[in-house]
Amino acid sequence: MIKVRGLKKNYGRVQALKGLDMDVPAGSIYGFIGQNGAGKTTALRILAGLLVPGQGLAEVAGWDIMLYPRAVQEAIGYMPDFFGVYDDLRVGEYLLFYASAYGIKGPRAGKLRDDLLELVELGDKREAFVDTLSRGMQQRLCLARALVHDPPVLLLDEPASGLDPLARVEMREILKELGQMGKTILVSSHILTELANLCTHIGMITEGALVRQGVLADLLNNTPVRKIVLRCACPTEKAVKFLEGWPGVEGINCQLHQVEFGLAGGLFQVAELLKELVNQEVPVTHFAPEEQTLEDTFVQLAGQTEV
């Protein structure tokens, strides 16, 4: 649904994007993660038609963003990380205003307004003034605005930024519902725990280049180094001596009956190591990789990749 190849963008001497490649499958919720300043917002603004790339190709819903900008605008709903509000408009009037911009008027516009407010759980705020809403409510209203023309693709830039924990949960559940409705969602964030509970796919960007992308579960199961916890029925000297000679083992931290260490490779390497420990008659009582988090994976990949 979104295809990016070799995308570059400079701001003077600063290179914001360094040949970005990215593929967002149709119907996916794709988490675009990276530190502040990594290039996430620049990439989203280019896809939304707000910035012109210096070099490269980008397509949204099959449309080249440079050759068919109008078609791309009709295919996307864009939610920036910060948006202004109209002090003198009520919530319902705000959505009707944007509906009219897309040529939607009369009874159809009224029904659309009510449906969208129900979707983002603001049905009871229709007559409230926009500037009286909380930050979380304003974010949900901005999402409703992005959905006015029923686009198949949503570009969301840090939608949970500045929200309290409850508001983040509410936003996450709405995005899950939109995903179930068939929307393709590209959502950028540096709050990795939020994306781990939401996304089907992940793209990791650092210093303007993608370091890894793919299905979330696959990324977590195929990390460069995973932490292992080993416990023994007796002191760990024998286990430590064996581990020191095993390829891919690093950062050994031993206690009386427990050893923690890193192991390069996937689950097959974990199984092979356990098999050899047993063959060496190490009295293993516990051997398990710690659950890999999205944050762990990103830190490892960003730290080991030169861009």
161 and 249 housed in the same domain: no
| Cβ contact 29:198 at 8 Å | yes
Helix axes 91-101, 135-146, angle to 10 degrees: 20
78 and 202 housed in the same domain: yes
242 and 205 housed in the same domain: no
Note the pTM of the prediction, 2 decimals: 0.78
CATH number of the domain where residue 30 is located: 3.40.50.300
Residue 217: its pLDDT value, please? 77
Q: Show the domain range for 57.
A: 2-85+133-214
| Cβ contact 277:241 at 8 Å | no
7 and 56 housed in the same domain: yes
Residue 289: its pLDDT value, please? 82
Q: Tell me, yes or no, whether 44 lies in a domain.
A: yes
Q: Tell me, yes or no, whether 110 lies in a domain.
A: no
Q: Tell me, yes or no, whether 265 lies in a domain.
A: yes
What's the residue count for the chain? 307
Residue 211: its pLDDT value, please? 86
Per-residue pLDDT tens listing for the chain (307 residues): 999 999 999 999 999 999 999 999 999 999 998 888 889 999 999 999 999 999 999 999 999 999 999 999 999 999 998 766 677 899 999 999 999 999 999 999 999 999 999 999 999 999 999 989 988 899 999 999 999 999 999 999 988 877 888 888 888 999 999 999 999 999 998 777 778 888 999 998 988 999 889 898 777 766 667 789 999 998 888 899 999 999 999 899 988 889 999 888 777 888 999 999 999 999 999 998 877 667 766 666 665 544 3
Q: Tell me, yes or no, whether 152 lies in a domain.
A: yes
Residue 307: its pLDDT value, please? 36
- Distance linking the first and last C-alpha atoms of the chain: 26
163 and 262 housed in the same domain: no
Using DSSP, state whether 104 is helix, strand or coil: coil
Exposure class string for 231-266: b at 16+ Cβ within 10 A, else e: bbeeebeebbeebeeeeebeeeebeebebebbbebe
Residue 202 DSSP code: E
Residue 222: its pLDDT value, please? 66
Domains: count for the chain: 2
**Cα-Cα-Cα-Cα dihedral sign, residues 130, 131, 133, 135:** positive
74 and 150 housed in the same domain: yes
